[in-house]
Amino acid sequence: MFWYKIKYHNGRIGYQLASSESSLVYGLVQQGTWRFSITPWKPQTLDYKSLHTFFTELQSALQSGLQLNQALSHLALSPAKSNLSIICKAVLSQLEQGISFNVALSTLVQTSASPYCQLLNTQGTREDCNKSLSLSIDQLNALLEWSKRLLKTLIYPFSIIQIALLILIANKAMQAKSADNLVVYLLDDGILYLLCSALQLLVIRSLYLGNACYWLERYSQAFRLTKLFSLLHTTHQSGVPLQQAIKSMPEYFQHHHIKKEIFSVYYTLRLGKKYAGSFPDHWFPKESAIALHSAEQDGDIERALTIATLEHEKRWQSTISLLEKFIPALCLLVAGGIVASALVALYAPLMNMP
């Protein structure tokens, strides 16, 4: 499926998703529309941060008394947030074609963030939609907050690395015995400085947009389980049955092992096995394992999910606190190595070292 931008003869602009340009033209002609122009359109898909902004603006409009379509129409007219207004126009055009809001929005969101569109309940009342928006915003807030913590951790050591590189460049410049040597030194060290600065800017931008979740999911089991149980607990609280909630969980992950575990749990539960024999042992640690065993008697797994969510959150907070200490120490070690090399080069002639 591809997105197309449609400009009608009266100046109105629309956006539609179609399998091909010819099928879109055929559909418009069937509707009695003859005068229009079509161009391929590549939307600027929403990431975690921009999706969070979109949900927040949409919730604000709903709380002011607007219905969903009215809220989207209001946001589509906003000149301040141009990309969000275009996204709203595209969603509205899909709603006019009978496509559900969740499906329409998912096509305009990055693959990693699209599952959060499925948390929305747009088929009920405005209050139901507002409540589901709050749940989605809370989940995205947690992801962005973890990235923000790592970003704050890196600001100081990145600054120290910048200063260390400038000291190295200044030292090499003072050691230059001729203008030619000075140009060579500045060129070599300047390239190193630019590469290091570009890498730092990429890391800062990635963390600012909430993309630390990709790295954390890949390398940290504590993060994966915290994210899983937070989503599972939230989805189950919203009234979704446990098996259906588990079935939707693989969409939120890129990591192969956790997806395999989730599918295994889902199909084991489908076969009618008990809770304790269906879930991996590390999913329900400590007291939550006892609560899970008790759930087999009364059928209420909500308490086990709550305890497991809190336990995994506690473990993840310990892990991220460790990262907040380790990452700056590693960066300062790099900066120290750069300064040390500059000092050795500066004092080598005084100590007659080769």
In sequence order, what DSSP letters do the residues of 95-116 get, joined into one string? HHTT--HHHHHHTTB-TTTGGG
What pLDDT is stored for residue 322 in this prediction?
Answer: 85
Strand order of the β-sheet with 36-40 is: 13-18, 2-8, 36-40
Reply yes or no on whether the pLDDT at 268 is more than 70.
yes
Q: For residue 40, list its beta bridge partners.
A: 4
| More confident of the two residues 117 and 298 | 117
Q: For residue 46, list its beta bridge partners.
A: 109
Q: Which residue has the tokens 């497991």?
A: 308
How confident is residue 177, by pLDDT bands cut at 50, 70 and 90? Answer: low
What pLDDT is stored for residue 79 in this prediction?
Answer: 65
What pLDDT is stored for residue 185 in this prediction?
Answer: 66
The helix or strand, by DSSP H or E, that contains position 56, with its residue range, turns out to be helix 48-63
Asked if residues 311 and 288 have their Cβ atoms less than 8 Å apart, the reply is: yes
Q: What's the average model confidence in pLDDT over 120-143?
A: 79
